[in-house]
Amino acid sequence: MPPHTVDGIVTRAALAGGVIGLVVGLVRGLTVYPPTAWAAGFEIGIPAAIAGAIIGVGIAGLRSALRRVRARIR
């Protein structure tokens, strides 16, 4: 299995956050006012994608730091 790259980790985390946020927003919008459910999906999905990207950057940075520490120990 090839090593994960920073952009791959960030992309996957942002995509996961965005999809989850979109689904949550859509469900929330359908329960509140169905004609504007699509807007609620974007209102929650876009910030969730941004949060996912930020979390992905943190995970990628942590993986990189751990890899450097392990290389230094050997």
- Give tens-digit pLDDT for 29-60: 999 999 999 999 999 999 999 999 999 999 99
- Give the single-character DSSP code of 74: -
Determine if the pTM surpasses 0.85.
no
**Per-residue pLDDT at 7:** 85
First to last CA, the chain: 22
Dihedral angle computed from the Cα positions of residues 26, 28, 30 and 31, in that order, rounded to the nearest 10 degrees: 170
Q: Which residues make Cβ contacts (< 8 Å) with residue 44, sequence separation at least 6?
A: 21, 22, 24, 25, 28
